[in-house]
A and B are shown apart, each in its own frame.
Chain A
Amino acid sequence: MIHLSNIERFYKNGLLKTWVLRDINLQVQPGEFVTIMGPSGSGKTTLLNILGMLDQPDKGEYLFFDEAVHKFNEKKRTELHKHYIGFVFQAYHLIDELTVYENIETPLLYRGVKSQERKSLVADVLDRFNIVAKKDLFPHQLSGGQQQLVGVARAIIGKPKLLLADEPTGNLHTSQGEMIMDLFAQLHKEGMTILQVTHNEKNALYGSRVIKLEDGFVREDKPITPDA
């Protein structure tokens, strides 16, 4: 599903080149739950952004379902990303002016989904996440965990093939974090491909594979055994 080869990302600062990612080779199969770990500044988020097509590599190839993403223009990338990828952020990034319902609905609007269908899709998700009672509240009226729940709901409403999560529990209390991680595990079980970035060793255990980055290189890439 994802095929990265020799991906490089760097910043030029005058004559100085600062590497963020170097020589990344990575394959992800459908249905995997991959955790990317590493210290601050190791390039985790950049990698996630490249995978999510929000950022472009300076070198290397990125194949997504055998399509060469690195050759696409912005419009085509947006198109691809709109239909295949969902994002969850550490800071939730809900739109303050929109209610829970409207926040979840937003991606559907941009896909041109009909009003009736939107209603039923949003209703399903609200139901599933147990937040029907909260649908008319605004983000600031919710707890962090609830906001992130909405964030996840919004990310998966369009039934993406790939869910990307950048420290999804970074701002949450332990119990709320566990709730979100359980949800991820559940989604994974249903067949969703998930890539998450986290510092938290415990969260990594929910996944099926861990990739460790250091100074832009992949240092370690190993599957997780249920008992480990």
Chain B
Amino acid sequence: MFSNYLKITLRTLLKQRVHSMINLLGLALGLACTSIIVLWIKRELSMNQFHEHKAELFRVLEHQTYDDAVFTFAATPGPLAEKLKADFPEITHASRVSWGERSLLAYGRESFYQEGRSVEPDFLEMFTFPLLQGNQETALSNPNNILITRELADKYFGGEDPMGKVMRLDDEADYEVAGVLADIPENSTLKFDFLLPLDNYLKQDESLNSWNNNSIQCYFRVRPGVEAGAITEKIKKIVAENGQENVALLAHPLSDWYLRSRFQDGKLQGGRIDSVRLFGIIAVFILLIACINFMNLSTAKSANRAMEVGVRKVSGATRGLLAGQFLSESLIMSALAGLLGIALAAVALPYFNRLFELELAISSAGPGFWLGMGAAIVITGLVAGSYPAFFLSGFQPVKVLKGLVRKSGGAVQLRKALVTAQFAISVLLIIGALVIYRQIQFIKNKNLGYDKENLLYVPVNGALWDKYETVKTELMQMPGILSVSSTNGQVHQWGNNTSNVSWEGKDPEQAILFQTIPVGYGFVKTIGASLKAGRDFSPEFPADSTNFLINETAARLMGMDEPVGQTISLWEETGRIVGLLRDFHVGSFHQAQDPVIMILRPWKNFIYIRLKPGDGLSGLLASMEMVFRKHNPAYPFEYHFTDREYEELHRNEQRTGELAKVFAFLAIFVSCLGLFGLASFMAEQRTKEIGIRKVLGASVGGITRLLTMDFLKLALIAIFIASPLAYYLMNKWLQGFAFRIGIPWWVFALAGLITALVAILTVGFQSVKAALANPVRALRSE
């Protein structure tokens, strides 16, 4: 029986080539999208899952409450880890973990920048980062040990045994290799090339001994079976009890680190999981569109198969058997489409990988993927085949054999509803793509309040600390350099704040978080910020070492109309405000405008350099390199362009935008495939009507309009259905940005226009063809 179905399916496929191609291609595209998205979702869900004790691992987050908002940080006070382990029997291990520092690691003549983390001995017992060589118990017990990954071992030592070798860090301290770690899995959020014992890190930073300073991460492991909620409840108040009253702790479980880590006002707002869901839904949408094509074309073509149904029924087929036949047909189709789709996916994956900087591959997908795809194929087959099976198998043989099947109003209505649904999904995706594109353009082009173009920064390391002034003088002599200054963070992602600010008339209960930016002379000019009133710090005013610059937001929050000349204090040190800056951005567009206080300090982690716009950049960079190498020979010259780094901050949105574009296009394309098939069928079916109309004097234009309007009406309905939905969804997406565009009416109009245009083009071709046909022939065939 099944072989009979298979035969029929294949012969039908070959007989109706266009129709089959549309069906197959549509389904294959849908399944190709699905398979890429399934691969990607699988990867996203696998993040951090390789840890043996994954259910028992937590990271400590702090909710810090201020007047206007609750901010959430992963930074915690230094003494926390030890306290957790000592006071709570359910916490078996705890380790402070540094943020990941880039350092110059050298062995012999090999010298590279590598990322390291300083951790405590418990670290190796908490996380599954196995040692290939070395003793786990003692590897981190000596402050001058270093553990390197196998990749690093190969890079520095080639075939040699790295154990016991001495490596030099940042040209100032020697470390002995005490272990080789297996390479860090790609799906780990904790990334590093080497590990150091925390001891030396602690020595560098006094504040790590204080409960009043949040500057290191804390991870811990609990006994099996302890719930996140329960442990959060217990540890919640520790930091508050030790001095920082506005802090509540949260035990953030491992499974949430990657997927659910965006907090707003102290509440979990999602995170990557939103993208996972979004693209999951999009995959289902596209698959649905393809299924709709299948259903539409099958029911539309049903007249051609009605006779077969009749004959089979007369030959003794029951409705069940016939439904089975049509379902197996669609299953065979979806299986074929699945194979084609997976092949398409394999071709498209390199592009996807490049876009997302991933390494997805079908060959290494594992049984989960094949199971998922199998399920998708079967479900697609069943969904796509359900209506034809139900519809066709219900034909009454007496009627179909007499040729009375065409006037099936129900099927026509359903077909219209399905086409409308397709259009609606397409409109939704187009609007989404347009809004995302506009928001990204807005971010790119928005005036940040400082000039990120031609602004270069160089991380300070080694001898540069002491030779800054010399370097600055030499740089300033180059014709391509306008100004040079220093600060201790990156302007495009500032992250150093305090609420320890007071001013006259401040409500003692009030807590506002100010961004504090320690700068050198000429900083305002260098980054291209502008002063609204007052002046920049200047060597002519020795008192400036205790004076401040503030921005407009800070002035507003402090309730000052004329801030210049007023006295405020920061970190209990009092000084005068000498300048008022226009607001400028110190973070990504997800963050709101922060109040900023600038102070004059020689804390220079970064040298900022303003270049003269124009060419000669490579020559300029070469001469700058010479200056830096001369004064800091142990380090390679490293520089970053602020505009590029800023774009990197919004990379995720940019990718979402790219993908939305691709998917919107695919959705429309697949819809068009179906529309094309449906239109050609409709034209074919109305041959007689068209013939009669032409004989009665209808023009080609009139007939084309007649046929096209049918579909255009559906497109219009779809636009009206999809627009409010799109508005709601995109507004929600935009809420994630502190600075965002509105959604103008013309976005909807444009999306509608695109959809309508595509529909007209697709259907119009068929309509014109039908309208041009010779009516005599059409009428004779009846």
Residues of A within 8 A of B (CB): 49, 52, 54-55, 75, 78, 81-83, 87, 89, 91, 93-98, 102, 105-107, 109-111, 154, 158
Contact = CB atoms under 8 A, between A and B. Distances in A.
B315 A107 contact: yes
B179 to A, nearest CB: 68
Contacts of A49: 398
Interface in B396-412: 396-398, 401
B7 A54 contact: no
B538 interface: no
Q: List the 8 closest A-B pairs by CB distance, nearest first.
A: A82-B316, A110-B316, A107-B315, A97-B11, A54-B398, A93-B311, A87-B314, A110-B317
A154 B315 contact: yes
Contacts of A54: 314, 396-398
7 contacts: A78-B313, A78-B318, A81-B314, A97-B11, A102-B4, A106-B311, A110-B316
Contacts of A52: 314
Contacts of B321: 110
A78 B8 contact: no
B371 interface: no
B397 A97 contact: no
A49 B311 CA distance: 13
Interface string B306-325: 01101111111110010000
Interface string B634-671: 00000000000000000000000000000000000000
Nearest to A164: B314
B398 A97 contact: no
Contact of B8 (A75, A81, A98, A158): A98
A14 B389 CA distance: 33
B398 A110 contact: no
Contacts of A89: 401
Nearest to A81: B316
A94 B311 contact: yes
A75 B318 contact: yes
B401 A93 contact: yes
B15 interface: yes
B12 interface: yes
Interface string B289-316: 0000000000000000001101111111
Nearest to A158: B316
Residue of A55, A98, A110, A111 contacting most chain B CB atoms (<10 Å): A110
Nearest to B311: A93
B188 to A, nearest CB: 55
Contacts of B398: 49, 54-55
A154 B308 CA distance: 14
A55 B401 CA distance: 12
Nearest to B316: A82
Contacts of A107: 315-316
B8 A93 contact: no
Nearest to A166: B401
Contacts of A78: 313, 316, 318
B1 A102 contact: no
Given A78-B318, A93-B401, A106 B312 contact: yes
Given A102-B4, A102-B7, A109-B1, A95 B311 contact: yes
B315 A106 contact: yes
A105 B312 CA distance: 11
Contacts of B315: 82, 87, 106-107, 110, 154
A222 B450 CA distance: 108
Nearest to A89: B401
Interface residues of B, number: 23
A193 B273 CA distance: 72
B15 A97 contact: yes
A111 B316 contact: yes
A35 to B, nearest CB: 21
Nearest to A154: B315
B507 to A, nearest CB: 83
B695 to A, nearest CB: 27
A97 B8 contact: yes
A161 to B, nearest CB: 14
Residue of B7, B311, B396 contacting most chain A CB atoms (<10 Å): B311
Nearest to B403: A91
Contacts of B312: 95, 106, 110
Nearest to B310: A93
A208 B457 CA distance: 108
Nearest to B1: A109
Interface string B680-702: 00000000000000000000000
Contacts of B314: 52, 54, 81, 87, 93
Contacts of A102: 4, 7
A111 B318 CA distance: 10
Nearest to B396: A54
A154 B396 CA distance: 20
Contacts of B11: 97-98
A82 B313 CA distance: 9
Interface string B6-32: 011001100100000000000000000
Contacts of A110: 312, 315-318, 321
B90 to A, nearest CB: 65
Contacts of B396: 54
A93 B312 CA distance: 10
A83 B318 CA distance: 13
A49 B314 CA distance: 11
Contacts of B313: 78
A139 to B, nearest CB: 11
Contacts of A91: 401
Nearest to B402: A45
A87 B314 CA distance: 7
Nearest to B14: A97
A19 B8 CA distance: 40
B661 to A, nearest CB: 42
Contacts of B316: 78, 81-83, 107, 110-111, 158
A89 B310 CA distance: 11
B315 to A, nearest CB: 4
Nearest to A50: B398
A115 to B, nearest CB: 10
Contacts of A55: 398
A81 B15 CA distance: 32
A57 B15 CA distance: 39
Contacts of A87: 314-315
A82 B316 CA distance: 4
Contacts of B307: 93, 95
Nearest to A56: B398
Contacts of A83: 316
A101 to B, nearest CB: 11
A49 B307 CA distance: 16
A125 B143 CA distance: 95
Given A97-B308, A110-B312, 10 more contacts: A78-B313, A78-B318, A93-B311, A93-B401, A95-B308, A97-B15, A98-B11, A106-B311, A106-B312, A110-B321
Contact of B12 (A94, A97, A105, A106): A97
A107 B310 CA distance: 13
A173 B766 CA distance: 39
A60 B325 CA distance: 36
A93 B316 CA distance: 15
Contacts of B311: 93-95, 106
Nearest to A151: B311
A89 B12 CA distance: 23
A109 B4 contact: yes
Residue of A75, A87, A105 contacting most chain B CB atoms (<10 Å): A87
Nearest to A103: B311
Contacts of A81: 314, 316
A105 B321 CA distance: 16
B325 to A, nearest CB: 10
B149 to A, nearest CB: 62
Contacts of B12: 97
Contacts of A106: 4, 311-312, 315
A29 B426 CA distance: 65
Contacts of B7: 97-98, 102
